[in-house]
Amino acid sequence: MMTSTGRPTKVSIVEVAPRDGLQNEQSQVPSVAKVRFIDMLSAAGCQMVEATSFVKLDIVPQLADADEVFPVIRKAPGAHYPVLVPTLRGLERALAVDAKEIALVTAASESFANANLHRTVADSLVDVRNLVSEARRARLWVRVYVSVAFVCPFEGRIIPDRVRSICEQLLQVGPDEICLADTVGAATPREVELLLDALLSLAPPEMWAMHFHDTRGTALANVMTSLAHGIHIFDSAAGGLGGCPFAGPGALGNLATEDLVYLLDGLGISHGIDLERLMDASRFISRAIGHPLPSRVFRAGGKPKTIRVTTR
Ligand code: MG
């Protein structure tokens, strides 16, 4: 549904802090704390929580406990808990714990695919195709991330036609959703507009999710532009958890769920998340990782409170 402004009236938020946030943390969070965190996110109304990653244990040691964490998280009715699966081995592990939704990764630049996936883009698309057909056999729901869809840390600006051609190939493979990631956190609304103009002729808005980083303070502006194009699936991380792996230490990474929720509430767009309970989850994980979280809305204490003036 659309409002008279052309914006959707309802948005789905994909909470990525337990995976994308925690994998960028220096410290190892105990498995019980991860489970508690995910349960708190579910209790806050998060309907889609990317729970963990079945990546090789030595590559992301922070998530090496995926096989223990996933089975014990409380699966809230109607909620979904996708897991990142980079390889067939990862898929086997995901199936062993009865995951119903998976996320796969490819990239829009050769240098990034080489550095992160140790593949050419073409080979990574072959991997995705194989994984999707295995996943289909197991009746899993599949999302595919396109990393560096706007700017690559090695190659700079990625032209929309390049991303379009990758997405065209992905659409032939038949995923349920394609997620466009501003991995570097460098996109501005103009780039978002150009990319969405190129992609929305391939598939309708429900095919596309946006994964923005707030590294340069443009994430919410990019959300606004995406909403104006009818996009209604957005990734974000509680508290803004997860630094930007391609920027200096202390640089912001994932768009914070609190900031996104506050914006959507202001626009009258429904999303199902309770801001106060979400902040409880952020406070909890902030204590577990031992440092403050960058979300502006979280730091401000949520919605503005009315200050009572008492007269004597
Ligand atoms: Mg991210």
List pLDDT tens digits, range 226-239. 999 999 999 999 99
- Please report the pLDDT score of residue 27 as a whole number: 87
State mean pLDDT over 258-287.
Answer: 98
Domain contains 3: no
Q: Which residue would you say has higher pLDDT here, 307 or 119?
A: 119
Is the model's pLDDT at 298 over the cut of 90? Answer: yes
Q: Which residue would you say has higher pLDDT here, 5 or 212?
A: 212
Domain contains 1: no
β-sheet with 141-147: strand ranges across? 48-49, 12-15, 233-236, 208-211, 177-181, 141-147, 101-107, 83-84, 52-53
* Domains identified in the chain, total number: 1
Cα(254) to centroid(ligand 1), Å: 5
Residue numbers annotated as active site: 244
**% of the chain beyond a pLDDT of 90:** 88
Domain contains 308: no
State mean pLDDT over 95-118.
Answer: 97
Whether 294 and 252 have beta carbons less than 8 Å apart is answered as: yes
Q: What are phi and psi of 262, to 5 degrees?
A: -60, -45
State mean pLDDT over 257-269.
Answer: 98
State mean pLDDT over 44-56.
Answer: 96
The pairing of beta strand 151-152 with beta strand 156-157: antiparallel
State mean pLDDT over 11-22.
Answer: 97
Cα(44) to centroid(ligand 1), Å: 21
**Domain CATH number, residue 270:** 3.20.20.70
Task: Place 143 in a pLDDT band, splitting at 50, 70 and 90.
Answer: very high
Is the model's pLDDT at 63 over the cut of 80? Answer: yes
Among candidate residues 52, 125, 47, 59, the one with its CA nearest the CA of residue 93: 52
Domain contains 121: yes
Residue 106's beta-bridge partner residues? 146
Cα(295) to centroid(ligand 1), Å: 14
Cα(84) to centroid(ligand 1), Å: 12
- Please report the pLDDT score of residue 4 as a whole number: 64
Domain contains 227: yes
Predicted model pTM: 0.96
- Please report the pLDDT score of residue 70 as a whole number: 98
Residues of the domain holding 115? 12-300
Q: Which residues, by Cβ under 5 Å, contact ligand 1, an ion?
A: 20, 254
Cα(213) to centroid(ligand 1), Å: 6
State mean pLDDT over 235-250.
Answer: 86
User: 219 vs 39, 128, 188, 255, CA distance in Å?
Assistant: 26, 28, 8, 6
Is the model's pLDDT at 3 over the cut of 80? Answer: no
Domain contains 184: yes
Cα(182) to centroid(ligand 1), Å: 8
Domain contains 273: yes
Cα(95) to centroid(ligand 1), Å: 24
State mean pLDDT over 213-234.
Answer: 98
> Which residue carries 């391609």 as its tokens?
246
Task: Place 33 in a pLDDT band, splitting at 50, 70 and 90.
Answer: very high
Domain contains 4: no
